[in-house]
Amino acid sequence: MTKTNSSPLAPLACIILAAGQGTRMRSTLPKVLHPVANAPMIEHVLAAAAELLPEQIAVVIAPGMDTVEKAVAPHRCVIQQQPLGTGDAVKAARSVLEKFRGDIIVLFGDAPLVTAEALRNLQRKRIESGAAIVVAGFSPTDQAPYGRLIVESGQLTAIVEAADATEAQRAIRLCNGGIMLFADGKLWPLLDKLRDDNAKHEFYLTDCVKLAKAGGHICVVAEMPADEVLGVNTRVELAEAERLMQNRLRRAAMLNGATMIDPATVYLSADTRIGQDVVIGPNVVFGPGVEISNKAEIRAFCHIEQAKVEEGALIGPYARLRPGTIVGGGAHIGNFVELKNTEVGRGAKINHLSYIGDATVGSKANIGAGTITCNYDGFRKHHTSIGAEAFVGSNSALVAPVSVGDGAYVGAGSVITMDVPANTLAVARGRQSNLDDWAKRFREEQAERKK
């Protein structure tokens, strides 16, 4: 994600609502922990908020949401005892934010596409207009579920929830995106005045607007793109959020200097780091924790997670880099090669059909087709060390713990169970015997039998 480290426009605190049960996800996992681009939804919201350098962030959760509390640490969680509405949820944060002086932005943990720029825009709008409340407005294609924004002479006078709206109000296109900014000192007194005399018998945060207006305060709308306020309620919307997030990540990677031959088929994680002049082929998946340095090439159909690929390395097609892998500069990792917890030195080659796990491979080593590190004895994992410029012949099994020294050779088809000293040839396989004319005799015998 692109980060801008500008200084805060004004002192800020954020409240992120995440106490909803998310029943429509039909899941035992709390909704805000469902991942988008391999990070829990709420992490995206926290990241956008954190970019504005708020003095405090409070996350509102329901009782028993310990997993959410862990996921958002070290940010503070507060508990809303019962789901009595968004206004009631914000009240739960009062105990930790009451002394805070400055803007308070309320946002939702299940709307992962919000950007720091959109939040900054709310603050800007508040400074320009002197408003008590700034509401993020948007014009959805289907406004059915949203609160409608009632705007008169450029000022927001009320938000009417869909369930409470008249037919004329329902026709209003401009809707509440759910993010609201409250100017210094305005939030808590308004919350005290909220009533639940509405269709849902909830305390609506949105009612703060008409209460502010009644108290002589100005409220305004800051419009933002519909994509950024997308809320996730079902797994269908989760997939839509994923699609939008992937597009955003791909675009950022390309603008940063990576070529993607078919971007729509490349899947990134929120934390994927890709350098300049990197070329990525079609159908490549980047799991979490991946860093690709400049000028590396990732060919089609690779799957990479928690791994680092250094400058100018060539990966794939069809390679799998698993956690703990570091591929050194200019190294080649070819088709159907799986690496796990392995450090491959500069310029080394592992080009075909290998599994190398829990190993170090020295620079310029050549690992022949079909080489396997036998790293697991059914109980523990063991290390294999292969030296610089070593040459391991095809179809060798290296039974760990074992080491092959610098410059050593391993004969093809060997099963290596003892260390191989540097510059040594190790051959560990049955010796070949050639039986003269055996084949000819065999054919003649068989032909005789058939008669």
- Residues engaged in binding ligand UD1 (CB under 6 A): 17-20, 60, 80, 83-86, 88-89, 108-110, 146-147, 159, 161, 175-178, 204-206, 231
Closer residue to ligand UD1, CB minimum distance, 52 or 68: 68
Closer residue to ligand UD1, CB minimum distance, 172 or 285: 172
Closer residue to ligand UD1, CB minimum distance, 91 or 332: 91
Least separation, in Å, of the C-beta of 31 and ligand UD1?
7
Least separation, in Å, of the C-beta of 102 and ligand UD1?
22
Closer residue to ligand UD1, CB minimum distance, 158 or 410: 158
Most distant pair of Cα atoms in the chain: their distance: 113
**Residue 112 interacting with Mg ion (CB under 5 A):** no
Compute the Cα dihedral for 127, 130, 131, 137 and give only its sign. Answer: negative
Q: Of the candidates 396, 406, 402, which has an alpha carbon nearest to the alpha carbon of residue 429?
A: 396
238 contact, one of ligand UD1, Mg ion, none, CB 5-8 Å limit per kind: none
Closer residue to ligand UD1, CB minimum distance, 51 or 110: 110
Least separation, in Å, of the C-beta of 176 and Mg ion?
10
Chain position whose Cβ is nearest to Mg ion: 231
CA torsion angle 190 195 197 202 (round to 10): 90
- Residue 352 annotated to the active site: yes
267 contact, one of ligand UD1, Mg ion, none, CB 5-8 Å limit per kind: none
Strands 133-138 and 175-182: antiparallel
Strands 273-274 and 291-292: parallel
Per-residue binding letters, 175-214, with Mg ion (x by CB under 5 A): ----------------------------------------
Least separation, in Å, of the C-beta of 203 and Mg ion?
15
Show contacts of 430-439: CB within 8 Å, 24+ apart. Answer: none
Closer residue to ligand UD1, CB minimum distance, 91 or 364: 91
85 contact, one of ligand UD1, Mg ion, none, CB 5-8 Å limit per kind: ligand UD1
357 contact, one of ligand UD1, Mg ion, none, CB 5-8 Å limit per kind: none
Place of tokens 């308004």: 190
Residue type for position 2: T
Least separation, in Å, of the C-beta of 233 and Mg ion?
6
Place of tokens 């592992």: 350
Least separation, in Å, of the C-beta of 189 and ligand UD1?
18
Closer residue to ligand UD1, CB minimum distance, 205 or 333: 205
Q: Where are the alpha helices (DSSP H) in 65-174?
A: 66-72, 86-91, 94-97, 116-129, 167-170
Strands 415-416 and 402-404: unpaired
CA torsion angle 187 188 193 199 (round to 10): 60
- How far, rounded to the nearest angstrom, does the alpha carbon of residue 413 sit from its chain's CA centroid? 42
30 contact, one of Mg ion, ligand UD1, none, CB 5-8 Å limit per kind: none
CA dist 327 and 315 (Å) reads 9
Least separation, in Å, of the C-beta of 20 and Mg ion?
8
| Residues of span 222-281 touching Mg ion by CB under 5 A | 231
271 contact, one of ligand UD1, Mg ion, none, CB 5-8 Å limit per kind: none
* HSE (side-chain half, CA atoms, 13 Å) at 186: 27
Write out the two tokens for 304.
Answer: 């990479």
SS3 74: coil
Least separation, in Å, of the C-beta of 245 and ligand UD1?
17
Closer residue to ligand UD1, CB minimum distance, 83 or 323: 83
225 contact, one of Mg ion, ligand UD1, none, CB 5-8 Å limit per kind: none
Neighbours of 384 (CB within 10 A): 24
75, 332, 352, 383: which is the annotated catalytic residue?
352
DSSP string, 144-211: TTSPEEEEETTEEEEEE-GGG--HHHHT---EEEEEEEE-TTTHHHHHHT----STT----GGGHHHH
103 contact, one of Mg ion, ligand UD1, none, CB 5-8 Å limit per kind: none
Question: Which residues belong to the active site?
Answer: 352
Contact residues for Mg ion, defined by CB under 5 A:
231
